[in-house]
Chains A and B, each alone.
Chain A
């Protein structure tokens, strides 16, 4: 298993999640199908409007919107299917994206701005600029990514209020 940060910390974050259950102000989960460009971005739009309803400020909403959009698009563009989950706690928002897909052979390379494995066709549409993962990282306070070749990728993003 390739990991960008230590597995230990990641597992801890997961456990912490479970401990916090019930304390979330809101949680949402979306199924995303790979290759479906028509409905791409719909999960992120729903997330944004729900956060707006909660009265969360614009700068936080913007960061969550960027993070959720980039994770959603990565599933659509690269994976077979995946889920996008959002947990809103008292002091932070956590986004977890899990996909079934090819995985990322070299995560460190994929984290570099401009590196992309997207097809020519996808690039012509303006995707695949190699900014997805760097964008996610930039707008998160905590960012973790794990990828299993041939199985899939898991991304966790935490944004504090």
Chain B
């Protein structure tokens, strides 16, 4: 039984930007990259994606791949259009001030493998 989004939110003190209702989703893995085509071809279904990209195309990718959610790292400001789209597409966006390396490491430590 994998971790759920809400457990990760609590453990790592993440901010829930959108998708409050989606926090029961199970996390099956993780993937970290800012290159969208790499994410597209390598991130697996149910994975939690760590990135510093914040434009609305990240939502399309998460939705197409059925990712568990997106963590926007480094306190990057998420554009209003991205938020809107994520509510429409039912994609959970979490944010953290930590950088991608740190947050990925912490996720790994919680038992989320690749």
A40 touches B41 (CB 8 A): no
Which residue of B has the minimal Cβ distance to A127? B36
Say whether, besides A62-B45, A70-B40, A135-B40, A125 and B55 are in contact (CB < 8 Å): yes
A135 touches B41 (CB 8 A): yes
Q: Encode contact with A along B23-63: 1 for CB under 8 Å, 0 otherwise.
A: 00000000000111110110001000001010111011101
Task: Output the least CB separation between B73 and chain A (Å).
Answer: 13
Q: Encode contact with A along B61-86: 1 for CB under 8 Å, 0 otherwise.
A: 10111100000000000000100000
Which residue of B has the minimal Cβ distance to A47? B64
Q: Is the interface of B mostly helix, strand, loop or mixed?
A: helix
A37 touches B57 (CB 8 A): yes
Within 8 A of B (CB), among A124-140: 125-127, 129-132, 135, 138-139
B64 touches A45 (CB 8 A): yes
Size of chain B's interface in residues, with CB distance under 8 A?
22
Within 8 A of B (CB), among A35-52: 37-38, 40-42, 44-45, 48
Contact of B60 among A69, A125, A130, A132 (CB under 8 A): A69
A111 at the interface (CB under 8 A from B): no
A45 touches B89 (CB 8 A): yes
By size class, the interface of chain A is 20 to 34
A156 at the interface (CB under 8 A from B): no
A66 at the interface (CB under 8 A from B): yes
B41 touches A69 (CB 8 A): no
Contacts of B38 in A (CB 8 A): 129, 131
Residues of chain A whose beta carbon lies under 8 Å from any beta carbon of chain B: 37-38, 40-42, 44-45, 48, 58, 62, 65-66, 69-70, 73, 125-127, 129-132, 135, 138-139
- Further contacts, 19 of them, CB under 8 A, given A48-B63, A125-B55, A138-B41: A37-B55, A37-B56, A37-B57, A38-B81, A40-B57, A41-B57, A41-B60, A42-B60, A45-B63, A58-B66, A66-B40, A69-B60, A69-B64, A125-B57, A126-B36, A127-B37, A131-B38, A131-B41, A139-B41
